Structure 1
Amino acid sequence: DFRPGTPDLSLFPRSAWAAAQRSVLARLPHRALGYPDPRGLPELREALAGMLARRRGVVADPERLVVCSGVAQASTLLGFVLRARGLRTVGVEDPGSPEHGRLFASTGMETVWLPLDGEGLRPEPLAASGVRAVVVTPSHQFPSGIGWSAGRRAALLDWARAVDGYVLEDDYDGDFRYDRAPVGALQGLDPERVVYAGSVSKSLAPGLRLGWTLVPEELLDEVVERKRTMDLGNPVLDQAVLAEFVTRGGYDRQLRRCQRAYRERRDALLAALAEHLPGTGVSGIAAGLHVIARVPA
């Protein structure tokens, strides 16, 4: 399957997940099956906050973590909140994921495409755009595969403070680094300006529809209320199973398993390109589930 960003679903840890399900069903109190806190189960928010602080360097207060169905829902939650605050436009990376623009358009916001270079979002077009919100993928930019430089990360946060704006950090491929230690999440540098979003879609399976967003204090109540009116919260049993899985080390083991598998496949692809298409230029190989290959004419 050569579709970019598509996980190998055969890597889903069926036995370990089933064991976590049995454990949860044996001990979950009846009261936990009622309407949940729209932010998510407290035990899952605690588990995710600890894991994200340790693995991604985020400032992870469980009270400001909202469990959602993935980055897509995190984007729409933020879009509705910003639209209600009077914002009309959102900046997205160019080139970037068309899905970001579509999601914010569904909330009534218009998209402004902002150019990138080899270091990240270019500061001058951003400053001239007039937007006060942007969506970025700094860990492994889609589709170029670059990791943003420290200078561009700092410049983006300086811009957000100057315009009283917000950054949605889609931590795309943040868990999968192959040749060096992962770069910490942007949110860890300014948790009051960065809304951080991630999910288990690549580490476990997209069909689980489980993700999270860490929200600045100023936006938290509005995001939680929007989540409440949108769906009353995510399914309790799935949340409890993920909490069990994270707390007992299953999630870390799964990430290591995926890392090994995807690194081996990346290496095999690079070797095949070198053998069969010599002269092919390849970028974005240090992380993630896709590379950019420029085949010679």
Structure 2
Amino acid sequence: MPWSTWSMNDWATRGERTADYDLLLDLPAARAAAGGGARAGLERALREAVRDGRLSPGTRLPSSRVLAGDLGLARNTVADAYAQLVAEGWLTARQGSGTTVAPRPAAVPGRAERAPVRRTPVAPVELVPDNATGLPYSLWPGSPDLSSFPRAAWSAAARRALAAAPNEAFGYTDPRGRPELRAALSTYLARVRGVRTDPEHLMICTGYVQGVGLLARALYGRGARRIAVEALGFPDTRTLLRTAGLETVPLDVDGDGARVDRLDGSAQAVLLTPAHQFPTGVPLSPGRRTAVTGWARSTGAVILEDDYDGEFRYDRQPVGALQGLAPGHVVYAGTASKSLAPGLRLAWLALPPHLLDAVVREKRMADHHSPVLDQLTLAEFIGSGAYDRHVRRMRLHYRARRDRLVAALAEHAPHVRVSGIAAGLHAVLELPPETGPLQALVDRAHALGLALSGLPVYGAPTAHAPTSLVIGYATPPDHAFSGALSRLCEVLSPG
């Protein structure tokens, strides 16, 4: 479905920061339902976001100026919509404090009921792609620009979090993770990704790999034996699923994402990257999103949604989380590894109530709970708005890098077709047949000191798929990016 959000213009032309945030709004659908009027559509979209809990009480909304600019509306239209919702009691506005979601005495309709947690206890499996080549330059995908980690802002958040932490935070805590972080994530994921959950059904994991392992073992313990996976994807994930006892069934990937039409009753679960298929970069089409959630409802199967880089989009409207369409059948998996750094070892699962107890038991057996201090810091980082500001800044940074990559290839290797670049941190370079064997090209890059990744690393492409490279343009630090690009162009240049 089409979604609208405001863009990443939190860095003004002189470098100033604003306090505005990302928000996922189904504005086109709301305008259609409201009869096509811009103001009525915005009012309806905001009202629905508050009503269904994606915007929780106290959530601050962007200024009318920023929201108007990012949505392409007149500022008066946004201001009038805000004023109407304030008059209706959905929002509150105070001079100097901005516009926020009003408190509500009643529980949010549609939120999952609190499920009892049985605190009972399989060791985590941590698998890392082998991209440690020792070469001075790397365009290997899967990592952000580590040199851009927000050290000062993170350090300030850590000091505030440590000062405010209750004494009990330093003891053995809930296997699901600290309540401060689960509450902050519940609000953030609803606002930015359209995830429908609450803090009780969120679990903090020591990385995405641990989260997948916990869920896989829980599914196996409940009788699942087969899980469908995209034929192209992170190879370690398939290994991890098999280690948990699950047989992996490949699903072909095309221009509309995974071929979910080929799912049947033989698989009890499916793992998808619907917002930005890894590594092809295509989103799961609206028809297939509807089809796979319908399949899960009719069969009782579970969908694991890997939203590994859903916050980074550039040339298209953001795709809301699949979980929002079927919260009772989708496990949403998110991570700070791409938005911040993999070294934090912070990821999260939004779990349907019927899976919560089983996954909590697995987490307790694995390590009881994830480290506390970074959880508290991330909660403070999100709550203060620093996380939104960092993500928006990095969008601009990665988009500029992507544009440099595309421009360099257009100049030096125009025969190479670039795809999968509307979102995310990597691109797919489709090479013409005359390029020759892919391994020879990778070896030539290695001789120049550049690490490259070919598409076959991530699975078996279809018989007619072109020879392709998967280029992680986020990976190099700033000082190495130009050198990596020049070596790539040298490798790909004709002759």
Q: TM-score, normalised by structure 1?
A: 0.97
CA contact (8 A) 2:228 2:271 kept: yes
CA contact (8 A) 1:138 1:171 kept: yes
SS of structure 1 residue aligned to 2:429: strand
Report the Cα offset of residue 152 of structure 1.
0.6
Output aligned runs, 1:98-117, within 5 Å: 98-117=235-254
CA contact (8 A) 1:100 1:135 kept: no
Partner of 1:212: 348
The 1:236–1:122 alpha-carbon spacing in structure 2 relative to 1, beyond 3 Å, is same
Q: Distance in 2 between matches of 1:3 and 1:75?
A: 23
SS of structure 2 residue aligned to 1:191: coil
Output aligned runs, 1:1-297, within 5 Å: 1-127=138-264, 130-296=266-432, 297=434
Cα deviation per residue 1:30-88 (whole Å; 9 max; x = unaligned)? 22211011111111100001000000001021110001112211111110111011111
Higher helix share: 1
* Larger mean Cα displacement after TM superposition, 28-37 or 141-150: 28-37
Q: Which has the higher contact order (CA 8 A, sep 6+)?
A: 1
CA contact (8 A) 2:208 2:334 kept: yes
CA contact (8 A) 2:261 2:291 kept: no
Q: Distance in 1 between matches of 2:255 and 2:316?
A: 19
| 4+ residue segments displaced more than 3 Å | none
Cα deviation per residue 1:152-171 (whole Å; 9 max; x = unaligned)? 11111111112110000000
Q: Distance in 1 between matches of 2:298 and 2:168?
A: 47
Q: Distance in 2 between matches of 1:259 and 1:144?
A: 19
Q: Distance in 2 between matches of 1:84 and 1:26?
A: 41
The one-letter code of the counterpart of 1:161 is R
Report the Cα offset of residue 295 of structure 1.
2.6
Q: Distance in 2 between matches of 1:123 and 1:189?
A: 16
CA contact (8 A) 2:208 2:335 kept: yes
CA contact (8 A) 2:143 2:337 kept: no
Aligned residues between the structures: 296
Report the Cα offset of residue 138 of structure 1.
0.6
SS of structure 2 residue aligned to 1:256: helix
Q: Distance in 1 between matches of 2:353 and 2:166?
A: 31
The one-letter code of the counterpart of 2:312 is F
CA contact (8 A) 1:91 1:135 kept: yes
Which runs of no fewer than 5 residues in structure 2 stay unpaired? 1-137, 435-495
Q: Distance in 2 between matches of 1:37 and 1:249?
A: 26
CA contact (8 A) 2:313 2:424 kept: yes
Query: Identity of counterpart residues, as a percentage?
Result: 56
Cα deviation per residue 1:166-207 (whole Å; 9 max; x = unaligned)? 000000221100112311000000011100001100111100
Q: Distance in 2 between matches of 1:181 and 1:230?
A: 38
Cα deviation per residue 1:5-54 (whole Å; 9 max; x = unaligned)? 22100110000111111112222222221101111111110000100000
Q: Distance in 2 between matches of 1:112 and 1:281?
A: 30
CA contact (8 A) 1:282 1:294 kept: yes
* Structure having the higher Rg: 2
RMSD: 1.2
The one-letter code of the counterpart of 1:165 is A
CA contact (8 A) 1:141 1:172 kept: no
Q: Distance in 1 between matches of 2:368 and 2:266?
A: 35
Which runs of no fewer than 5 residues in structure 1 stay unpaired? none
SS of structure 2 residue aligned to 1:291: strand
CA contact (8 A) 1:70 1:198 kept: no
CA contact (8 A) 2:268 2:301 kept: yes
